Chain A
Amino acid sequence: MSRLAQSLLLVLLGGAVLRISLLSTTYLNYVKPGFRPFLVAAGLVVFVLGAVGLFQEWRGKASAGHSHGPGVAWLLGLPVFAIFLIAPPALGAFAARSEEAPARPPAVALDAYGPLASGQVTDMPLSEFIGRAWGDSGRSLAGRPVRLTGFVVPSKKKDRWYVARIQIACCAADGIPLKVAVLDADRPPENTWVEVTGTWIDPELEELPQGTVAPELTATSVTVIPAPVEPYE
């Protein structure tokens, strides 16, 4: 790999990273929002490193020796290709694999859930809904209307579909699907983002099931919304 190719590759890679982090919000499809400053800094360092190399090449002042870089570095072109060509979207219904039991969200201390206001609709993240449905012996969800936001995942069972969202801790590789079964409503197309308003269906068991089934919700209204800027929970 010649010095010129090395420098150009660095400029392209740095440019790709700056494009998804500094110039747009595409980076939110891959990592947590807090990553932005680090991505911008890293992209700048790589970009400047390549630009300085190009500048020296142009002045014909390439440093002596070691003019050939490692061949494996060509592979760095792959993420550049992926970013510009596939422009991978946020994880969706395929990653939420419809019939698999949803993973239990990381435990939150149960007393962190306050009582819900009665008589008005409460907006709620899916993780809180699942946490309350599974982990709250006080059954604080019973009879309280809530509004959940997520994308549509079909179910094999006829009477339901899922509203789902991926929870990430750091990047999309550690995503955990969160799913709530929606009953009594027609299913919009797969992967559509929706707001579902409804109430929890109390399974009326002595012991609440721990993470083996998705909690159920009977819907009163389903509204199609545009995909949010921040796709993960």
Chain B
Amino acid sequence: MAKKVLFYLNQFFGGIGGEDKADFEPEFRAELVGPAEAIAKNFGDDLEAVGVIICGDNFFGQKEDEARAFIAQVIDEQQPDIFVAGPAFNAGRYGFACAGACQVANEAGVTCVSGMYEENPGLEHCQSFAWVAQTANAAAQMRKALPLMANLVKKLAAGEEVTPDDDKYFAQGRRECILVEERGSVRAVNMLLARLNDEEFTTELPMPSFDVVEPAAPILDLSKATIALATSGGIVPNGNPDRLQSASAQQWNKYDISSYDQLKGDFYTVHGGFDPVYCNETADRVLPLDALRDMEKAGKIGKVYDFFYATTGTGTAVANARKFGEEIGKELKEAGVDGVLLTST
């Protein structure tokens, strides 16, 4: 019996409309459209496309419970074996919706396939259980994305082995027990020997890769340097006038400290990830304005920059932290700041 495949698309790729239709209420259609149709063209007799769910990205974002309930209901009715969402490329809302839809399918025991760009914020929400094909960042590369997704659907349906390298999907971070010929100690020694002999070797446990930023050149004359303070410790004026979130920060704030010699008494923390008692007695315990001000008075540094920058570093998405850093760095650069001390709790 053929395995059943159910698709999920947003309003745009589902042919409903653009941004003006982003509130489109989810619908199930037996007739395929767009990327769903294109992927299904590759199917043989062992796969049957049962239809497509089309849902507006804003609808999913704003009425997620309703959208999820609808998807769950369609899955219950159609009983698919495989759920295919996207590709979403680097579209954030669509990526979140695809990830959310996949979560519903996954909970129902359905195998999930999607396609995203590596920086799509939805990726981290489904990477661990879905097979997410690695796509470019824009839909202009649709032609390349669709065969990757079709390949995953076909292989998974047939129970064939897939690997991130061969099948171009994001590694799920799972370890699986497999049988190999040589035991671990032999493989380890062989790997070491290869390494010592400058031969090619492949690690069995790749470490996550982080991009590297070249260290900035040092400050040549501290006595003329403007130094800024920044923190992920959630330091704000008492009362939190800008409503900085206590976790999963969506923003950063800056505060004028040009007339302050210390933070004690006027600032506190809204960070939800550590015991705030000590910081709230003396916020300089987290952001040391008092000591830096004394260095300024002693002429050891030129000046404390007039503003400090703060966000909350607990549960905050890496993508957000990156964005905050970009925005803060731009301001500091334009203000001619020479160096920064950033404290983390």
A binds B: no
